[in-house]
Amino acid sequence: MDNTDFSAYSAEDFVLDDHFRRWVNGQLPPEDTFWDTWLRQHPQKAETIRQATWMVKALAMEEATLDQPRMAENLHRIAQLTEREPGTWYLFSPSGWYRVAAALVVLAGLGWYLGRGLKTVVPTKYQEMVLAQTGPTIEKSNTSTQPLKVALSDGSVITLQPHSKISYPEVFAPDKREVYLSGEGFFDIAKKANSPFLVYANEIVTKVLGTSFSVKAYEHDNTVVVKVVTGRVSVLSGKVKNDNPAFSEAEGVILTPNQMVVYARTPEKLTKTLVEHPVLIKSSHTKPSDFNFMNTPLPLVFKKLEAGYGVTIVYDHDVLQNCTLMAPLENETLYEKLDLICKVIGASYEVVDAQIIISSQGCD
């Protein structure tokens, strides 16, 4: 910087100098007096400097800043992304615009590898299912410590975590794509009409309908959990039969965003409920500020919540139509919002079968 001959600089040259602009904008540390000194030594350039200063100021732009609490909240959400790993969130496919990314994680069948002090390999669902396949199959096993990418012939890509394996036919059947998973995998599924993608893991079959979701099915856990992030998922539990894999959507439990299903293995029971932390559904294009209610009739408040979080709220329209809400609920979670609303109107709520049931005496 000190070697540059600034005396030959035009106003534009000064404007284009990062250090000069920082001086104009008062962003230099107080000990950096370079420009003040230089200007004193080159009084003949005062006019040029004045002009350059004016130009820098003229090009100032409006700056949007996010308020601190909101930013902290967003950063917290980003930090949670790493905790949620292996990802339960929508994964954009970086290329191929017609690949609806279906991101899912399946944790299953840990028993097959020699963990937890087991000395012998115990036959598991995975092995039974793989053996029952007809025709040539491919098995990929990740014995390394790094995730392993497996590209399928249909364009789907599976990222296998260590100690995981996947088995699939050399050639997919024309009407369905079936894979068997043991361990943990991240699936980026190519959308293909009339050819559903099915993931078998323990007692659960998950049918991908162009969506993203996660499945947790640890061999030693008594529960299997499927959570949906976007789109729709159909889950079939219990007797998974190889001869009827492409089950119709209606046969399984259908999940939409923010819903999850918990499958208890013994005694066998399937419960549908809401996820612990419902998030705003991206496709709804709802902004947190949409929840700043100003004398809003309760039925409208509930409509906004239903749209934003993709939930169903059951309430008596006639009873609640005279209730209005005045509350800025921009930053609260869904459950906090419901708590506050119920407090204001003297109501209560419970979550039953993934629906929110409001009980209230109404407002007069």
Partner 1 sequence: MSTTTEVTELWLAFKKGDKEAFNRLASLFYQTLYSYGTKLTPDRGLVEDCIQDLFFELWQRRTFLGATEHVKFYLLKALRRKIYHEKKTQDKWNAQAVEAQDEQAFVGEFSVEKNIIDLETSELHLKKLHHVLAKLSKRQREIIYLKFYQEMDYEQIANVMSINYQSVRNLLHTALRELKEAWVQEP
Please report whether residue 186 would count as binding partner 1 according to CB under 8 A: yes
Work out the widest C-alpha separation in the chain, in whole angstroms.
90
Contact residues for 359 (Cβ-Cβ < 8 A; gap 6+): 347, 348, 349, 350
304 in Cβ contact with 282 (< 8 Å): no
The single residue among 64, 193, 250, 294 that binds partner 1, judged by CB under 8 A, is 64
Collapsing DSSP states into helix, strand and coil, what is residue 218? coil
Please report whether residue 81 would count as binding partner 1 according to CB under 8 A: yes
Q: Give the total residue count for the chain.
A: 364
Please report whether residue 35 would count as binding partner 1 according to CB under 8 A: no
Please report whether residue 335 would count as binding partner 1 according to CB under 8 A: no
The single residue among 6, 15, 23, 172 that binds partner 1, judged by CB under 8 A, is 15
188 in Cβ contact with 102 (< 8 Å): yes
Single-letter residue type at 23: W
| Dist. CA 204–CA 125, nearest whole Å | 10
- DSSP-assigned beta bridge partners for residue 185: 106, 160
Please report whether residue 12 would count as binding partner 1 according to CB under 8 A: yes
| Least distance (Å) between residue 59 CB and partner 1 | 6
The single residue among 1, 8, 58, 250 that binds partner 1, judged by CB under 8 A, is 58
Burial of residue 1, with CB atoms counted within 10 A of its CB: 0-12 exposed, 13-18 middle, 19 or more buried: exposed
The single residue among 33, 37, 46, 85 that binds partner 1, judged by CB under 8 A, is 85
The residue (of 3 and 82) whose beta carbon lies closer to partner 1 is 82
| Dist. CA 131–CA 9, nearest whole Å | 78
Number of amino acids touching partner 1 (CB under 8 A)? 46
The residue (of 92 and 328) whose beta carbon lies closer to partner 1 is 92
| Dist. CA 345–CA 361, nearest whole Å | 9
| Dist. CA 73–CA 91, nearest whole Å | 21
The residue (of 84 and 272) whose beta carbon lies closer to partner 1 is 84
Point out which span in 62-70, 114-122, 176-184, 333-341 binds partner 1 (CB under 8 A): 62-70
Please report whether residue 77 would count as binding partner 1 according to CB under 8 A: yes
Which tokens go with 317? Answer: 């329209």
Point out which span in 79-87, 169-177, 258-266, 319-327 binds partner 1 (CB under 8 A): 79-87
The residue (of 288 and 297) whose beta carbon lies closer to partner 1 is 288
Residues 89-118 that bind partner 1 (CB under 8 A): 89-92, 94
Residue indicated by tokens 């009739």: 297
Point out which span in 64-72, 164-172, 216-224, 255-263 binds partner 1 (CB under 8 A): 64-72
Residues 272-331 that bind partner 1 (CB under 8 A): 282, 285-289
| Dist. CA 159–CA 38, nearest whole Å | 58
Contact set with partner 1 (CB under 8 A): 11-12, 15-16, 18, 21, 51, 53-66, 71, 74-75, 77-79, 81-83, 85, 87, 89-92, 94, 146-147, 186, 282, 285-289
